[in-house]
Amino acid sequence: MASSEHGESKVTRREFLMGSAAIAASIAGTSLSQAETNPAGDSKLEALLFLLPLLSCPTETSIRITALNDKQPAEAVIEMRKEGAQEWERKKPALKLAAYEIFNWTVKDLSRATRYEYRVLLKQGTDETWRPVAGGSFTTQRKGPANYTAVLMTDPHTGSFPAGSGPALTLDKVVQNASRAKPEFVLDLGDNVAWPGSREFPQKDPNGAMNAYARYRRQIGPLSINAPHFAILGNWGGENGKFPEKSIEIVAAVRRSLLPAPDHKTYPQGGSEKEDYYAFTWGDVLYVMLNIQTYSKPSNPEALPSLMSDVNQITEWTLGEKQMAWFESTLKNATERFRFVCMHHPAGGNAGDPMNTLYGRGGARAWNTGEQVKIHALMKKHKVQIFFYGHDHVFVDDVVDGIHYTLPGSCGAPWKFTKAETGYERFWPDSGHAQLDVTPEKATVTFINVEGKVLHSFSVLPA
């Protein structure tokens, strides 16, 4: 990896390059041409990157930018300027990149709540001059009451479907729709990636994960160049607690390379060194991003009721002691007037049938089951307004004790579960995403289907 700022990856460079070649081989020849992923069709930019930049970990003074080189060795630099300024400022010395190498910059010394433009420039072979190859813009972290828009997406299961198939086209469309809102960031609520066996079997090598994460990056490129992503894990992410630690770590290393998230040092709220749970402030809102998958360990892994199951009993869904203690103190210390919690599914279940209940389905219906009882009580005590989740692939908005349990549909997965499976009385089976508009007075969530139609909207008031 080109960077040492975010710790050593457990995937060796050789393994990664082999995996990168596998990614290239598997994606080459698909209908996803570089031109389609070139930012905003900007003809001034040349398509010399295998993966467009992904913005992550925005703070008041810094941003992390990762991209993946294409097949030619190259040198790369990054330039930035405040929006509207004329002159580009070169922020980092040039990085030397091998074919299909990830490059990774954390740009520092930025100003708070400010819109910046950036561009990546490359030199290949005997090139004398730098060529701009990708770019975009972003806003640094806001503190205190502010107006802004964010978007929520969940369950594309990217890696399960061939390029050009219906689910992949759905994600492309949702990415376009979401980009139109000019969100300041994106919340990815899990099952962002999936590949055959990722839910059922421990991973012995990083190849499946690399392929799926690379495809996800490829598809979200038009959004990821302009809006930092904050992702959490779903049960298809290959990091479920029923797997051995070693195989979880193989996949986690790929995730941290290709879909980096904040770690315990990024924000004052802290979180996990493994970038799997964390919290951040944006304006007057606290976002707490939780991992329900990795710390839930089945009591009898040999006797799970089915290959899809992660636990033997519903009470085994857990954040684990460390994450729960952190969650509790994060809420206790919160000063933001809006508080939103995100998790792939509740730490319990109450669905249409016993199998789906054990699988964690049912959203608000599961508020008083398993460890969700405790999570719900903490959310109530600390005035959390919305619990955002994924997993059930339909739009849902139910309220318990004034807390919205809100599921922003699916932005790809085609399986639309019915009342028989989920138990929901009211839901929208469309694909799509949710838009979150925050003002000092209220926060409004709008469900938008893949055709751009508004399905439902609600607002919450500050605590």
CA 91 – CA 82 distance, rounded (Å) = 13
- Give least dist CB 277 to Fe ion, A: 17
Phi, psi dihedrals of residue 118, rounded to the nearest 5°: -140, 160
Binding residues for Fe ion, per CB under 5 A? 191, 234-235, 391
CA 426 to chain centre: 26
User: Which residue do the tokens 């899990």 mark?
Assistant: 190
Do residues 100 and 24 make contact, with C-beta atoms less than 8 angstroms apart? yes
CB atoms within 10 A of CB 301: 15
CB atoms within 10 A of CB 311: 25
Which residues on neighbouring strands pair with residue 90, listed in sequence order?
A: 79
CA 107 – CA 65 distance, rounded (Å) = 8
Burial class of 391 by CB neighbour count within 10 A (0 to 12, 13 to 18, 19+): buried
| Torsion region of 80: left, alpha or beta (phi above 0 gives left; psi -120 to 50 gives alpha) | beta
Using only C-alpha atoms, the chain has a radius of gyration, in whole angstroms, of 21
- Residue 301 CA: distances (Å) to CA of 292, 296, 404: 17, 11, 34
Q: Nearest 5 degrees, angle CA 370-CA 376-CA 378?
A: 120
CB atoms within 10 A of CB 420: 10
